[in-house]
C-alpha cells in the first residue's frame, strides 16, 4: 500500500477536530490532494449504526465485552470497506480515532486485559496499523469542561466519571511511551501553540517519508 494512515487520538474535548484541520492544511501545502477522512466508531453504513448503539444512553447496560466487540466490528467494516481501498489508491487517510482508542478506553478505562484486546486486534486486523498517531493530551478536567462549554449535553462515554478518563489518559500515555509512531501533543496550550506543535509533527513525518 502506498497511501498513509494518520490517526488523531485523545480523550473527549482534547481538540481532535482542530488537529485534523491542521493536518489537512499541511498535507495540502505539500501538494497532497487525495485525502480521505474517517471517524471511529463509524464511517460506513453498518459502522454508523454500531456507533449509534455505542454512544446512545439507553436503559440496557452495555457490557464491557459487548462494547469492545462492537468497536472492533465497526473498525473491521471501516478498514475493509474504506481505509484499505483508499490506501491502495495512494490516498492519505486521516482517522478521528482508531485501534488505540480501544486500548485506552476498553483497556485502560474499563479494565479489560490489554493482552486480550491486542490479541483480538491481531485476529481481526492482523498487523494493520497507522503510520502516524497524533495523541492530543489534556487533563480530563480541561477536556470535559470544553465538552460542556459546547452545550450539547453528554453522550454515554462523556457521562463517565473523571476517574474513568484519568485511567484512559494514563493508558494512552503509557502506550505512547513505548511506541515511537505515537506523537504526544500538549493540548492544554493555547490554540495557536497547539496548532504549531501539530504542524511540526506533521512536517517531521512528511520529511522522514521523503
Ligand atoms: N471510543 C471510541 C471507545 O471507547 N473505543 C474505541 O475503540 C473508539 C474508536 C466516540 C466515543 O467512543 C469512544 C471514545 C469516545 O467517547 P466521539 O463523539 O467521536 O465519540 O467523541 P470524541 O472523539 O471524544 O469527540 P469530541 O468532539 O468530544 O472531542 P474532540 O474532537 O477532541 O473535541 P473538539 O476538537 O471538538 O474540541 C472540543 C472543544 O474544545 C475547544 C474546541 O474549539 C471545541 O469547542 N478547544 C480548545 N479550547 C481552548 N484551547 C485549546 N487548545 C482547544 N482545543 C480545542
- Model pLDDT, residue 1: 62
Mean pLDDT within 44-56: 97
- Is pLDDT above 70 for 135? yes
Spell out the long-range contacts of 44-51 with Cβ–Cβ below 8 A and sequence spacing 24 or more.
44/77, 44/78, 44/81, 44/82, 46/74, 46/77, 47/73, 47/74, 47/75, 47/77, 47/78, 50/74, 50/77
Mean pLDDT of the chain: 96
CATH number for the domain harbouring residue 14: 3.40.50.300
Rg over alpha carbons for the chain, rounded to the nearest Å, is 16
- Is pLDDT above 70 for 106? yes
d(CA 7, CA 148): 25
Mean pLDDT within 44-63: 96
- Model pLDDT, residue 2: 73
Q: 147 in ligand 1 pocket by Cβ < 6 Å?
A: yes
- Is pLDDT above 80 for 158? yes
Expressed as residue numbers, the domain containing 161 is: 4-208
Mean pLDDT within 159-182: 97
Q: 194 in ligand 1 pocket by Cβ < 6 Å?
A: yes
Q: 105 in ligand 1 pocket by Cβ < 6 Å?
A: yes
For the chain, percent of residues with pLDDT exceeding 70:
100
Greater model confidence, 1 or 151 = 151
Provide the sign of the torsion angle of the four alpha carbons 59, 65, 66, 69, taken in this order.
positive
- Taking the centre of ligand 1 as the mean of its atom positions, its distance from the CA of residue 169, in whole angstroms, is 13
- Model pLDDT, residue 73: 98
- Is pLDDT above 80 for 54? yes
For the chain, percent of residues with pLDDT exceeding 90:
95
How many domains is the chain partitioned into structurally? 1
Q: 152 in ligand 1 pocket by Cβ < 6 Å?
A: no
Closest ligand 1 atom to residue 12 Cα is 24
116-128 pLDDT tens trace:
999 999 999 999 9
Q: Where are the alpha helices (DSSP H) in the chain?
A: 16-29, 45-55, 64-78, 84-88, 99-101, 114-125, 140-149, 162-177, 191-209
Q: What is the pTM of this model?
A: 0.96
Q: 13 in ligand 1 pocket by Cβ < 6 Å?
A: yes
Pocket test for ligand 1, best of 10, 11, 15, 55 (most atoms within 8 A of CB): 15
Greater model confidence, 152 or 45 = 45
- Is pLDDT above 90 for 209? no
Of all protein residues, the one whose alpha carbon is nearest to atom 25 of ligand 1 is: 12
Q: 160 in ligand 1 pocket by Cβ < 6 Å?
A: no
- Is pLDDT above 80 for 210? no
Amino acid at each position: 500500500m502506498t497511501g498513509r494512515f494518520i490517526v488523531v487520538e485523545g480523550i473527549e474535548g482534547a481538540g481532535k477536530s482542530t488537529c485534523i484541520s491542521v493536518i489537512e492544511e499541511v498535507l495540502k501545502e505539500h501538494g497532497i490532494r487525495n485525502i480521505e477522512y474517517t471517524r471511529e466508531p463509524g464511517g460506513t453504513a453498518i459502522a454508523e449504526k454500531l456507533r449509534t448503539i455505542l454512544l446512545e444512553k439507553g436503559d440496557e447496560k452495555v457490557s464491557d465485552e459487548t462494547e469492545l466487540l462492537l468497536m472492533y466490528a465497526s473498525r473491521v467494516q471501516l478498514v475493509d470497506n474504506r481505509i484499505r481501498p483508499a490506501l491502495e489508491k495512494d490516498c492519505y487517510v486521516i482517522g478521528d480515532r482508531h485501534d488505540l482508542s480501544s486500548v485506552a478506553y476498553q483497556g485502560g478505562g474499563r479494565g479489560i486485559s490489554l493482552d486480550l484486546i491486542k490479541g483480538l486486534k491481531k485476529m481481526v486486523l492482523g498487523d494493520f496499523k497507522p503510520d502516524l498517531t497524533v495523541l492530543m493530551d489534556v487533563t480530563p478536567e480541561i477536556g470535559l469542561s470544553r465538552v460542556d462549554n459546547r452545550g450539547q449535553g453528554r453522550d454515554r462515554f462523556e457521562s463517565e466519571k473523571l476517574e474513568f478518563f484519568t485511567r484512559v489518559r494514563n493508558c494512552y500515555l503509557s502506550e505512547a511511551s513505548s511506541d515511537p509512531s505515537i506523537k504526544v501533543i500538549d493540548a492544554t496550550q493555547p490554540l495557536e501553540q497547539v496548532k504549531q506543535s501539530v504542524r511540526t509533527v506533521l512536517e517531521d513525518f512528511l520529511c522522514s517519508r521523503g
